[in-house]
Structure 1
Amino acid sequence: MPATIVSDPVVVSAPETTPPPPTTSSSSSAATATDLKTQIEVEFAKCDCCELTEECTQAYIERIRERYQGKWICGLCAEAIKDEIIRTERLMSTEEAMAKHMSFCKKFKSSGPPPDATIHLITAMRQLLRRSLDSPRGLRSTPTSPTNKVAVGDQIRHGRGPGLVRSESCFPTLSG
């Protein structure tokens, strides 16, 4: 999948700099050169993974292409590729991680958006609520509050102990 560069150059002004005071007759050409340096030409590049379009300088585009075997990869996909390399339990090259991420992006794009986003959200929330209500409290992996063994008469029950118990006064004793 070749990178697409939209070749509509855009001129972006860099932070203003004060040119040095004129000293010679060639000062007008020096001022013109300074003015040209303050303007940077920006191009639009389309990511080979997710097809996101970013504004970048030509130098930046070239650096990214060198890093990713001639492909233009946006910042978000570059982070996902780095994360893929870190997460894997075996040694993985950048090319392998990039191929895996591109495959993921391709599957994601081919699935398409849901026919009705509102109904999709409602269905997802319903499933989440059902899962949380169907799972018994004792079997949750991270309980909302710890359960302790509480002695009630002659029986030992699992449950919450008494709430906050004050063992002393909250006010320090005043001696004197």
Structure 2
Amino acid sequence: MPSRIPQQSAAESGSNRTDVDAGLSAEFASVVSGARRRALRDGDRQIDTAHLLHSLLESDPDVRAVFDGGPQIARLLGYLVQRSIGYGLRWQSSVENSGGVPVVAEAGWSPVAAGAMEGAYAGALLRGDDQARRLDLLAAIVADPQSRAVEVLGRAGVDTRVLLRRIESQFEEYAGRGDDGR
């Protein structure tokens, strides 16, 4: 059965890369796949940053490690689950857009999520990596104050400035040990 969420090229969303999913490691691709399944299950037209955040939290211990521990993660996952069972109903007919990217109706990725994927890839390139890490995606999601994920993070009491500093520290730790962080 074909997916109800069609693939969208980054070029359609105003981006320069030809495919949002290009350049992903297998582990990173599994996060994207989980977000895609979640959007389909939730009945959303697009994969947005909250879907990506939910998938990251469920699949990656390094992502969970940059938060304030179990209670904060539990609260955050609680908000994300609420969103999927009704909290996010007001979002289902709208497009996640921070105004910086043209809106494409009926696209597989929200403009903000497509931008976050681009940002993750750009972050990897800046470090000399040819594939984005899951923490690259988290950093890109958190960097856009208009993203749905940032709204959920705020409701859960997560200070995004602190979170971004922790992500940067994690990258420095990877570099110090020669670890690829995937």
What is the TM-score when the length of structure 1 is the normalising length? 0.22
Choose between structure 1 and 2: higher strand proportion. 1
Which of structures 1 and 2 has the bigger CA Rg?
1
Structure with greater contact order relative to length (CA < 8 Å, sep ≥ 6): 2
